[in-house]
């Protein structure tokens, strides 16, 4: 059954996440939904799945038109959403997972395993997946798990299948296989809404494309009428960036703050890379490109690494967080809640935790000096509120990130080389500008360098002196000076040569690292 | 400063502490109304002496819990410490050396527990549950029969006093002060909380997560053995099979009653002090009222559950009240733990080992 969305609007606080979006998906169609981070994709999915209640607009499934769904109604109307993270139970078999919560019963209330296995086999066959329904899910690959998720959704005979970036965690082969299976489903008349970052996939499997930007549908067209360039231009329009850029290309020839040669960590490499002293280098990459693996690998928290690393010319072996910190290498990890912020602890604790012994004495803290140093750091960070005792949980996302970054900017920190993984993810514009200024200020001191990763082209434009583009674990290209533009970044990340209307292809691998 | 007092963590800690303080006061009023023998110097001397043994272990156990771990083997380690010291003394080894050896034996148990948990990544519950049985076995092997016949010098440790305060109580005071100082004033104290709140972030910030955990286990083991030495000195014997059986549960009851979160990140030494005091007064009052031991056990168990329930209610109401009221002058958030030391001195903790002595 087709779905028609009209004038869908949803605001959070004052900001409109969706602003009058029209979108329709026909039966037997694969409709690709693209857009930069924060463009409203997840809000749209939230409305479709009944998790969010739109403020205005209507959604029509089949012939029935509603203003909003409850999750139960969305399910009853035949909407099935498959999220990036899996909802499978590892210790159960494929069939048991597919029927989890809706088990088939035999006489006497027993679970009818035989019938579950045969129905599962039939569903798996429909999507061309050759999996034994009796295999425990734990032993499957990520791609196979994705197929089980789809089978689980199909078990309820959905009318509309929504996939939220299903290929983010998949290898190239698995992504290709998934595309084929979706085409099979399309043939059976299912409407499919496919959210993705990967342009190559869009051109391989989609029938139509909608691009969201700032909550509006800025492109809504048949794929046959489009070239990849058009889509990229819709995602990141040329000239849309108005940031005071700071470029110092000549710096790249100075002494190195950090240099990697043939560096490998699980999921990324080999990579050659140099950050000169005084330089701020951006690593641009989409989800699954290996940007987190690279930064965490250098920091020494990703297990065994190979290749050579040098910090200010001295050889360095990534081993552990504390060993890296001792050498002046610090990381602000990507996941604030899990990896950097102590929600229940005070702002002062969050910033000064590693340095109490340094500020006071080895065995005795000096609260007076801690307070003074915190006040200085809070002023530097423009922390709001600048309160030492407020627990981190009471701060906004942007100010929590300031606490995490401030940890390595405070006077007691000896960090010379800062690694920032997706430093402004999910934070507001004001705090973002503050953080950019802080990072620039940090790198201005002699002997320092910054390596940051981002999936936001504008962020790279705003912060980087030079950018590397990662795709599927390899360097897809390097951009400096005037070459650096949102379009060039996206082109490389999507695996385009950068020429006009290059044919769509899967992202290429190592295109020669410098 | 608006948010200074809204911290759920602090609201919880404060709610638990104030509810517990009310509980202690209520117990004191009830028992003194019921029994003339309750509110006397002699009786409270008794309460404090009994509480001192449990206090010595409750403090490091609290730190271990705040860091998100637990040691279930303290009852057996207590017996091992008592047996090792007792055997050496009766063999004529000088008193300080014998005590040191007993405490070291406990530290070794803690070291093994710590290595298995922190280096081998085994669950603290499983490791220390194993140690609970194994260490009891070691104690029984060393001394198949109760050790007794201690010299007067050792018995004096359990009986004598300094400036009117029993030695045992002085040891407990010292442990409370040390625990409070570690948590409130030493860099490691904040690391302990950080590990309990978010171990991964602590590691990424350069905190030696494993090393801190290891030392906490060593300290708990050593403290448990010291408690064993104290108990042996008081009882005048060290029965390897019976000493400290069920002790881990009493310690955990007092610590959790004191508002230390079982899953880490929350609690203060002041709360632990109140928890120990509450259980000690309760046990003493029930004994004075001639409540049968079996009934006393039911009461103790029920009290723990009720206290946990009240804690939740108090937290909810205080958290919501905090949002509305806020107001009031900002108070140093770490003051409660900082004040522990002073608070610990005048009154000292009470305990529940009367029940054990009765067994």
Element (H, E) at A445: none
* Chain A contact probe: residue of B182, B186, B205 with most A CBs at under 10 A: B205
Q: Which two tokens stand for residue B3?
A: 């948010």
b/e for B73-92, b at 16 or more Cβ within 10 A? bbbbbbbbbbbbbbbbbbee
How near does any CA of chain A get to the CA of B179, in Å?
13
| Contact of A67 with A51, CB cutoff 8 Å | no
Q: How confident is the model at residue B225, as a pLDDT? A: 97
Q: Which two tokens stand for residue A231?
A: 């889509």
| Contact of A318 with A298, CB cutoff 8 Å | yes
Q: How confident is the model at residue A128, as a pLDDT? A: 75
Inter-chain residue contact B206 with A360, CB threshold 8 Å: no
Q: What whole-number distance in Å separates Cα of residue A250 and Cα of residue B258? A: 62
Q: What whole-number distance in Å separates Cα of residue B262 and Cα of residue B265? A: 9
Q: What whole-number distance in Å separates Cα of residue B130 and Cα of residue B124? A: 10
Helices in B198-292 by DSSP H: which ranges?
199-204, 209-235, 247-257, 269-288
A412 chain-B contacts, CB cut-off 8 A: none
- Say yes or no: A367 and A390 in one domain: yes
Inter-chain residue contact B197 with A342, CB threshold 8 Å: yes
- Say yes or no: A66 and A214 in one domain: yes
> Cis bond leading into A385, ω under 30°?
yes
Write out residues in chain A with pLDDT < 70, as ranges.
1, 13-14, 37-38, 85, 167-173, 237-253, 287, 426, 428-429, 496-514
User: Which is nearest to A475 in space by CA: A284, A277, A281?
Assistant: A284
Chain A: residues touching B (Cβ < 8 Å): 299, 301, 321-322, 325, 331, 333, 338-346, 349, 353-354, 356-357, 360, 362-365, 385, 387, 389-391, 393-394, 407
The pLDDT tens digits for A136-189 are 988 887 778 888 888 888 888 888 899 887 766 666 667 777 788 888 888 888
- Say yes or no: A216 and A85 in one domain: yes
Q: Is B3 on the interface with A (CB under 8 A)?
A: yes
Domain membership of residue A240 (yes or no) is: no
- Say yes or no: A40 and A131 in one domain: yes
What are residue B161's phi and psi, to 5 degrees?
A: -140, 165
Q: What whole-number distance in Å separates Cα of residue A173 and Cα of residue A201? A: 12
Q: What whole-number distance in Å separates Cα of residue B293 and Cα of residue B103? A: 31
The rounded percent of chain B whose pLDDT value lies above 90 is: 61
Q: Which of residues 180-199 of B touch A (CB under 8 A)?
A: 185-187, 190-191, 193-194, 197-198
Q: What whole-number distance in Å separates Cα of residue B58 and Cα of residue B70? A: 11
Domain membership of residue A192 (yes or no) is: yes
How near does any CA of chain A get to the CA of B26, in Å?
32
B11 chain-A contacts, CB cut-off 8 A: none
Q: How confident is the model at residue A437, as a pLDDT? A: 92
Inter-chain residue contact B200 with A356, CB threshold 8 Å: no
Inter-chain residue contact A346 with B266, CB threshold 8 Å: no
Find the closest chain B residue to A343 by CA distance. B197
For chain A, what is the total number of helices (H) and then of strands (E)? 17, 20
Domain membership of residue A22 (yes or no) is: yes
Strands A56-61 and A64-66 come out as antiparallel
- Say yes or no: A98 and A24 in one domain: yes
Q: What whole-number distance in Å separates Cα of residue B148 and Cα of residue B89? A: 10
| Contact of B278 with B81, CB cutoff 8 Å | no
Q: Which two tokens stand for residue A311?
A: 């910090």
- Smallest Cβ–Cβ distance between A364 and the set B9, B185, B332 belongs to B185
- Minimum mean pLDDT among A455-464, B114-123, B142-151: which range? A455-464
Domains held by chain B: number: 1
List C-alpha distances in Å: A72 to A26, A77, A194. Answer: 23, 9, 22
Q: What whole-number distance in Å separates Cα of residue A427 and Cα of residue A432? A: 7
Q: How confident is the model at residue B144, as a pLDDT? A: 92
A364 chain-B contacts, CB cut-off 8 A: 185-186
- Residue B60 makes CB contacts below 8 A (sequence gap 6+) with B179, B216, B219, B220, B223
* Complex ipTM over 0.85: no
Q: Which two tokens stand for residue A307?
A: 């290749």
Domain membership of residue A222 (yes or no) is: yes
Q: How confident is the model at residue A470, as a pLDDT? A: 92
**Domain ranges, residue B303:** 2-355
User: Which is nearest to A511 in space by CA: A272, A296, A341, A343?
Assistant: A272
Q: CATH code at A190?
A: 3.40.50.300
How near does any CA of chain A get to the CA of B3, in Å?
5
Given phi > 0 = left and psi -120 to 50 = alpha, else beta, which region is A329? Answer: beta
Find the closest chain A residue to B199 by CA distance. A339
Domain membership of residue A162 (yes or no) is: yes
> Cis bond leading into B160, ω under 30°?
no
- Residue A273 makes CB contacts below 8 A (sequence gap 6+) with A258, A259, A260, A263, A281, A451, A468, A475, A513, A514
Q: How confident is the model at residue B107, as a pLDDT? A: 98
Average pLDDT over residues B326-352: 33
- Say yes or no: A342 and A408 in one domain: yes
The pLDDT tens digits for B60-93 are 999 999 999 999 999 999 999 999 999 999 998 9
How near does any CA of chain A get to the CA of B339, in Å?
15
Q: Which two tokens stand for residue A299?
A: 């920091």
Radius of gyration of chain A from Cα atoms? Answer: 25
Q: What is the dihedral of CA B225, B230, B236, B239, to 10 degrees?
A: -30
- Say yes or no: A260 and A312 in one domain: yes
- Looking at residue A376, the DSSP 8-state letter turns out to be H
Q: How confident is the model at residue B218, as a pLDDT? A: 98
A343 chain-B contacts, CB cut-off 8 A: 197-198
**Which of A169, A204, A235 is the endpoint of a domain?**
A235
Q: Which two tokens stand for residue B300?
A: 């103790």
- Say yes or no: A81 and A166 in one domain: yes
- Say yes or no: A29 and A131 in one domain: yes
**Domain ranges, residue A342:** 329-413
B197 chain-A contacts, CB cut-off 8 A: 342-345
Instruction: Report the SS3 class of residue A392.
Output: helix
Q: CATH code at B38?
A: 1.10.3470
Q: How confident is the model at residue B81, as a pLDDT? A: 97
Q: What whole-number distance in Å separates Cα of residue B42 and Cα of residue B52? A: 16
DSSP assignment string, A96-112: HHHTTTS--B-GGG-B-
Q: Which two tokens stand for residue A49?
A: 């799945």
Average pLDDT over residues B297-319: 73
> B8 falls in which pLDDT band (50, 70, 90)?
low
Q: What whole-number distance in Å separates Cα of residue B156 and Cα of residue B166? A: 10
Inter-chain residue contact A354 with B6, CB threshold 8 Å: no
Q: What whole-number distance in Å separates Cα of residue A51 and Cα of residue A56? A: 15
Strands A280-285 and A268-276 come out as unpaired
How many other CB atoms sit within 10 Å of the CB of residue A279? 24
* Chain B contact probe: residue of A324, A389, A392, A409 with most B CBs at under 10 A: A389
- Say yes or no: A314 and A334 in one domain: no
Q: Which two tokens stand for residue A205?
A: 């499997």
Q: Is B210 on the interface with A (CB under 8 A)?
A: no
How near does any CA of chain A get to the CA of B308, in Å?
20
Domains held by chain A: number: 3
Q: What whole-number distance in Å separates Cα of residue A167 and Cα of residue A160? A: 19
DSSP assignment string, B170-211: HHHHHHHHHHHHHHHHSHHHHHHHHHHH-HHHHHHTT--HHH
Residues facing A314 on adjacent strands? A311
For chain B, what is the total number of helices (H) and then of strands (E)? 15, 4
Domain membership of residue A442 (yes or no) is: no
Inter-chain residue contact B205 with A356, CB threshold 8 Å: no
Q: Which two tokens stand for residue A414?
A: 């000896």
Inter-chain residue contact B204 with A389, CB threshold 8 Å: no
User: Which is nearest to B206 in space by CA: A360, A465, A355?
Assistant: A355
Q: Is B326 on the interface with A (CB under 8 A)?
A: no
What are residue A388's phi and psi, to 5 degrees?
A: -70, -30
User: Which is nearest to B156 in space by CA: B167, B145, B143?
Assistant: B167
> B166 falls in which pLDDT band (50, 70, 90)?
very high
Q: How confident is the model at residue A471, as a pLDDT? A: 87
What are residue A391's phi and psi, to 5 degrees?
A: -65, 145
| Contact of A312 with A270, CB cutoff 8 Å | no
- Smallest Cβ–Cβ distance between B204 and the set A321, A387, A393 belongs to A321
Strands A160-164 and A191-195 come out as parallel
Instruction: Report the SS3 class of residue A464.
Output: coil
- Say yes or no: A279 and A403 in one domain: no
Find the closest chain A residue to B265 by CA distance. A344
How near does any CA of chain B get to the CA of A412, in Å?
13
- Checking if the pLDDT of B317 tops 70, the result is no
- Smallest Cβ–Cβ distance between A365 and the set B8, B185, B197 belongs to B185
Domain membership of residue A436 (yes or no) is: no
- Smallest Cβ–Cβ distance between B204 and the set A333, A345, A394 belongs to A333
Instruction: Report the SS3 class of residue A137.
Output: helix
Domain membership of residue A434 (yes or no) is: no
Q: Which two tokens stand for residue B151?
A: 């010299």
The pLDDT tens digits for B220-269 are 999 999 999 999 999 999 998 899 999 999 999 999 888 888 888 888 99
């Amino acid at each position: 059954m087709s779905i028609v969305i009209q004038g869908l609007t949803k605001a959070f606080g004052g900001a409109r996440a969706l602003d009058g979006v029209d979108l329709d998906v026909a039966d037997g169609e694969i409709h690709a939904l693209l857009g930069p981070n924060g463009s409203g994709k997840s809000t749209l999915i939230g409305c479709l799945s009944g998790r969010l209640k739109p403020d205005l607009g209507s959604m029509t499934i089949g012939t029935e038109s509603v203003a909003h769904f409850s999750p139960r109604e969305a399910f009853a109307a035949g909407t099935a959403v498959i999220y990036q993270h899996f909802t499978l139970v590892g210790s159960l078999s494929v069939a048991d997972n597919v029927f989890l919560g809706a088990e088939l019963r035999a006489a006497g209330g027993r679970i009818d395993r035989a019938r579950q296995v045969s129905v599962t086999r039939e569903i798996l066959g429909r999507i061309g997946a050759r999996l034994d329904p009796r295999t425990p899910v734990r032993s499957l690959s990520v791609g196979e798990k994705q197929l089980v998720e789809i089978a689980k959704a199909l078990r309820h005979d959905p009318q509309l299948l929504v996939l939220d970036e299903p290929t983010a965690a998949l290898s190239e082969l698995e992504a290709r296989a998934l595309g084929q299976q979706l085409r099979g489903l399309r043939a059976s008349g299912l409407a499919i809404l496919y959210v993705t970052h990967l342009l190559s996939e869009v051109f391989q499997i989609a029938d139509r494309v909608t691009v969201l930007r700032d909550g509006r549908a800025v492109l809504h067209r048949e794929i046959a009428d489009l070239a990849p360039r058009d889509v990229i231009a819709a995602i990141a329009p040329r000239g849309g960036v108005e940031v005071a850029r700071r470029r110092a290309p000549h710096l790249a020839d100075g002494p190195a703050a950090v240099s990697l040669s043939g560096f490998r960590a699980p999921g990324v490499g080999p990579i050659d890379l140099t950050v000169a002293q005084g330089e701020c280098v951006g690593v641009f990459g989409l989800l699954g490109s290996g940007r987190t693996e690279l930064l965490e690998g250098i920091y020494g928290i990703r297990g065994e690494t190979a290749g050579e690393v040098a910090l200010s010319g001295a050889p360095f072996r990534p081993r552990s967080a504390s060993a890296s910190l001792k050498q002046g290498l610090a990381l602000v990890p990507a996941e604030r809640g899990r990896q950097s912020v102590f929600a229940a602890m005070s702002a002062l604790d969050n910033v000064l935790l590693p340095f109490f012994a340094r500020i006071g004495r080895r065995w005795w803290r000096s609260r007076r000096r801690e307070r003074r140093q915190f006040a200085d750091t809070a002023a530097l960070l423009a922390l709001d509120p600048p309160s030492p005792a407020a627990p981190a949980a009471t701060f906004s996302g942007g100010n929590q990130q300031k606490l995490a970054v401030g940890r390595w900017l405070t006077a007691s920190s000896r960090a010379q080389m800062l690694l920032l993984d997706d430093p402004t993810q999910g934070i507001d514009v004001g705090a973002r500008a503050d953080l950019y200024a802080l990072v620039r200020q940090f790198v201005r001191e002699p002997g320092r360098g910054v390596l940051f990763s981002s999936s936001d082209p504008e962020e790279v434009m705003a912060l980087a002196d030079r950018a590397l583009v990662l795709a599927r674990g390899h360097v897809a290209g390097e951009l400096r000076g005037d070459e650096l533009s949102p379009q060039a970044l996206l082109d490389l990340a999507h695996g385009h040569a950068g020429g006009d209307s290059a044919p769509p292809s899967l992202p290429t691998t190592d295109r020669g690292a410098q | 400063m608006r948010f200074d007092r809204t911290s759920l963590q602090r609201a919880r800690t404060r709610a638990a502490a104030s509810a517990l303080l009310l509980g202690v006061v209520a117990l004191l009023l009830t028992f003194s109304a019921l029994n003339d023998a309750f509110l006397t110097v002699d009786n409270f001397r008794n309460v404090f002496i009994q509480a001192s043994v449990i206090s010595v272990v409750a403090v490091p156990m609290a730190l271990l819990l705040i860091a998100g771990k637990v040691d279930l083997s303290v009852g057996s380690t207590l017996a091992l410490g008592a047996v090792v010291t007792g055997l050496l003394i009766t063999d004529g080894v000088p008193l300080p050396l014998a005590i040191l050896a007993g405490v070291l034996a406990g530290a070794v148990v803690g070291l093994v527990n710590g290595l298995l948990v922190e280096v081998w990544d085994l669950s603290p519950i499983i490791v220390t549950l194993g140690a609970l049985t194994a260490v009891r076995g070691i104690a029984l092997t060393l001394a198949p029969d109760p050790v007794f016949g201690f010299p007067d010098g050792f018995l004096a440790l359990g009986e004598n006093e300094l400036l009117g305060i029993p030695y045992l109580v002085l040891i407990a005071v010292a442990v409370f002060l040390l625990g409070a100082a570690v948590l409130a004033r030493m860099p490691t104290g904040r690391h302990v909380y950080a590990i309990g709140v978010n171990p991964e972030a602590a590691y990424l910030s350069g905190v030696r997560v494993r090393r801190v955990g290891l030392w906490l286990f060593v300290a708990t083991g050593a403290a448990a053995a010291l408690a064993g030495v104290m108990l042996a000195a008081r009882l005048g014997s060290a029965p390897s099979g019976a000493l400290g059986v069920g002790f881990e549960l009493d310690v955990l009851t007092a610590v959790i009653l004191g508002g230390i979160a079982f899953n880490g990140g929350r609690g203060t030494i002041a709360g632990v002090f109140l928890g120990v005091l509450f259980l000690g007064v309760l046990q003493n009052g029930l004994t004075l009222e001639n409540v049968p031991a079996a009934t006393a056990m039911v009461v103790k168990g029920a009290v723990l559950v009720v206290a946990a329930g009240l804690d939740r209610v108090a937290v909810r109401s205080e958290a919501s009240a905090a949002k509305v009221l806020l107001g009031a002058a900002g108070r140093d958030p770490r003051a409660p733990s900082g004040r522990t030391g002073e608070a610990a001195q005048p009154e000292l903790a009470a305990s529940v080992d009367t029940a054990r002595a009765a067994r």
